[in-house]
Amino acid sequence: MAITVLIPTTLRSFTNHRSELELEGNTAGEVIRSLADEYPETKKALFDESGNLRPFINVFVNGENIKALQGNDTPVKTGDEIMLIPAIAGGAPIESVLGDTKGEKLTNEEILRYSRHLLLQEVGIKGQKKLKAAKVLIVGMGGLGAPLAQYLAAAGVGKLGIIDFDEVDETNLQRQVIHGTRDIGRPKVASAKDSIKQINPLVKVETYNYMLTAENALDIISEYDVVADASDNYQCRYLVNDACVLLGKPDVFGAMYQFEGQASVYFAKEGPCYRCMYPSPPPAGLVPSCATGGVMGALPGIIGTIQANEVIKLIVGGGETLVGRLLNFDAWKMRFRELKIHKDPNCPICGEHPTITKLEEYDYADFCGIKKQEEEEAPVEAIEANELKRRLDDGERITIIDVREPHERAITKFLDAKVIPIGQLERRQNELDPTVDTVFVCKEGKRSILAVNTLREAGYTGRMFNLKDGTNAWARDVDPSMPQY
Amino acid sequence: MIYLSKDVIQHMLKDGANRYPEECCGIIFGYIDDNGEKTAEYAESAKNGYDKVEKRRRFEIPPEIMLKAELTARRKKLDIIGFYHSHPDCEVFPSEFDRTHALPVYSYIIMSVVKGKAVKTKSFVLSAEDMQFSEEKITVCSKE
């Protein structure tokens, strides 16, 4: 059967600019298939990833939609005319993640407090009411969570949820400006709640002094309109992303390391999610945490404030959010760069055929290589600071290798340890005597494990120890005159 | 590049303002040359297929109207070269919904209509290779 197929403009670049083709087939479906066979480039526009005709392409046989006939099986005969007609659709980006907030009222006290928002046409009374009705969850009350909580509280967000299992310690205070010196030892959520109430007593605060897990994430997040990810680990980032995708909420993302920061808005309804951008995490241990690698104090202030800014726009509606864009910031060079990120149709959670549908069944620790790291690496013998001290006092011959960075050794030297950076260990292993026990030392006993494993792989046969908890343990347990850092 | 006459632009802006706060939409008829450059002859408003609530941020030109438009274009020896729609009180850039519902070649002209007034107009074309939008230059020409 020779059927006339009329080609719409959109497909003509794939049909050598021909607007009419004669194609074979006994049904409408067969004719479309022969079009795709003859002009393979039309496939991408006509069919989705699983080979089905895109739902917005309509097929008309002699002026009648095949949906009203027998669909793909609609019989056709010589002389019939098939037209491919797209249903053209589109729409504006999200106005606000909040629904109707007309019922919300602002008191005179609130009108005065939020005056500078109300003076902005883009926010105004309408936007401020939305902020008042909004519920935002901040995951992590550290460097990024601090400015997030402060600015969102000041902006008049109705309810803030804050989740963190940790307590405030001295090393947090260099950047986590929501906590103060007198908060040392307190749960971070308790300290943060006090600060929020100090900034704006009108904000309701819900605290969760435990870890976000695959078991509790959906229950907690479903209570909120927007989630800000201010966590410091991959496991949590994937978990927050996945829960947000499943619940249809935006995940306002921020991350940082040393001098570099990133921010984006992962919102599967409107664009890509975190998994579209990063299908899998880097191998565990490859990217050091702030505790190992350090972080510029003001950096989380900048990134966390960008996150707060994006949260406010999502609530108020309008503007241009970071949906589909990853903002990279280099605090040392003082440069912002922007990457476009695309939605991945094969994304396992927000793609067309998701494979992750239940969080409880997904092993986040395994995905992030945390278990693997614990299981695979042969245990490294550890030595406590007190034990090392005793053996040295007994006059035992022990080689001590300090693998810390030069700028760390400038903070505090460790005994008369020999200095070998991890990168040089393999090459310089002959400087060690395999008949003498060797103790590897770093700040907190993590890089020293890496050092032992590196030498072991390089074939070194001598007995090796890791100084448990590093120089910090020595300072804590043996020599209080030495600083911890 | 798409060449739009002042008449065509006027038509679109008026449609955007008249149908505010709902989204307007319409079909642009004209020619496409071998280099992919488009010249608009005229634009026609189309019914928005969505129901009342959704119309504030969605539009759909129903297939029946598209069929009629294709037949009209054929009769007049023109092509359908693109579509226009408005984003009421919203930015002028294509949304994810725009992207996933778009087809290559066509111009997608978006107008940002703020408080009933069209303030910004841009045109976008979907690339067939990566199915992403890129901006297309609009050149305003006086009608010969």
Domain at A416, CATH number:
3.40.250.10
Determine contact, residues A39/B103, Cβ cutoff 8 Å. no
Q: Is residue A91 part of a domain?
A: no
Distance spanning both ends of chain A, measured CA to CA:
82
Q: Which of A313, A339, A374 is the last residue of a domain?
A: A374
Number of domains in chain A: 3
Q: Per-residue pLDDT tens for A438-450?
A: 999 999 998 999 9
Q: Per-residue pLDDT tens for A359-387?
A: 988 999 888 887 665 656 678 999 999 99
Contact assignment for A89 to B105 by CB distance below 8 Å? no
The verdict on A267 and A170 lying in the same domain is yes
Contact assignment for A9 to B67 by CB distance below 8 Å? no
CATH code of the domain in which A51 resides: 3.10.20.30
If you measure CA to CA, which chain B residue comes closest to A93? Answer: B95
Q: Residues in chain B, how many?
A: 144
The one-letter amino acid at A280: S
Picking from A265, A257, A209, A269, the residue whose alpha carbon sits closest to that of residue A240 is: A265
Determine contact, residues A236/A229, Cβ cutoff 8 Å. yes
Is the link from the previous residue into B21 a cis peptide, with omega within 30 of 0?
yes
The verdict on A416 and A324 lying in the same domain is no
Q: Choosing among A5, A9, A46, which should be mutated to test the B contact, i.e. which has the most B CBs within 10 A?
A: A9
Average pLDDT over residues A352-358: 92
The verdict on A133 and A65 lying in the same domain is no
Burial class (CB in 10 A: 0-12, 13-18, 19+), A312: buried
Q: Per-residue pLDDT tens for A407-434?
A: 999 999 999 999 999 889 999 999 999 9
DSSP state of A7: P
The verdict on A149 and A274 lying in the same domain is yes
For residue B7, count other CB atoms closer than 10 A to its CB.
14
Q: Which of A339, A357, A374 is the last residue of a domain?
A: A374
Q: Looking at residue A272, what is its pLDDT? A: 92
Helix (H) or strand (E) holding A325: strand A325-330
The verdict on A68 and A122 lying in the same domain is no
Dump the DSSP string for A295-307: B-TTHHHHHHHHH
Strand partners, A88: B61
Determine contact, residues A400/A349, Cβ cutoff 8 Å. no
The verdict on A57 and A19 lying in the same domain is yes
The verdict on A365 and A405 lying in the same domain is no
For residue A390, count other CB atoms closer than 10 A to its CB.
12
Domain that holds residue A18: 2-86
How far apart, in whole angstroms, are the C-alpha atoms of residue A168 and residue A357? 36
Average pLDDT over residues B39-57: 85
Is the sign of the CA dihedral A353, A355, A359, A361 positive or negative?
Answer: positive
Picking from A221, A305, A228, A225, the residue whose alpha carbon sits closest to that of residue A261 is: A305
CATH code of the domain in which A236 resides: 3.40.50.720
Q: Which residues contact A480 (CB under 8 A, 6 or more apart)?
A: none
Q: Looking at residue A320, what is its pLDDT? A: 79
The verdict on A340 and A392 lying in the same domain is no
Q: What pTM value is reported for the model? A: 0.71
Rg of chain B taking only CA atoms, in angstroms:
14
The verdict on A44 and A185 lying in the same domain is no
- The ipTM (two decimal places) reads 0.85
Picking from B121, B144, B142, B139, the residue whose alpha carbon sits closest to that of residue B37 is: B139
Strand partners, A464: A438
Q: Is residue A103 part of a domain?
A: no
Picking from B5, B2, B1, the residue whose alpha carbon sits closest to that of residue B143 is: B5
Q: Looking at residue A90, what is its pLDDT? A: 85
Q: Is residue A200 part of a domain?
A: yes
Q: Which of A374, A408, A424 is the last residue of a domain?
A: A374
Q: Is residue A485 part of a domain?
A: no
How far apart, in whole angstroms, are the C-alpha atoms of residue A84 and residue A32? 9
A126 touches chain B (CB under 8 A): no
Burial class (CB in 10 A: 0-12, 13-18, 19+), A278: middle
Q: Per-residue pLDDT tens for A38-95?
A: 999 888 778 877 778 887 788 999 989 998 899 889 999 999 999 999 888 888 776 7
Nearest neighbour of B83 by CB, restricted to A45, A60, A88: A88
Distance from CA of A21 to the nearest CA of B (A): 15
CATH class of B2-141: alpha beta
Determine contact, residues A7/A20, Cβ cutoff 8 Å. yes
The verdict on A406 and A422 lying in the same domain is yes
Q: What's CA B31's distance to the chain center, in Å? A: 15
Determine contact, residues B8/B30, Cβ cutoff 8 Å. no
Q: Looking at the annotation, which residues of A are catalytic?
A: 290, 442
The verdict on A299 and A346 lying in the same domain is yes
A248 touches chain B (CB under 8 A): no
How far apart, in whole angstroms, are the C-alpha atoms of residue B86 and residue B37? 23
Residue extents of the structural domains in chain B: 2-141
The verdict on A386 and A369 lying in the same domain is no
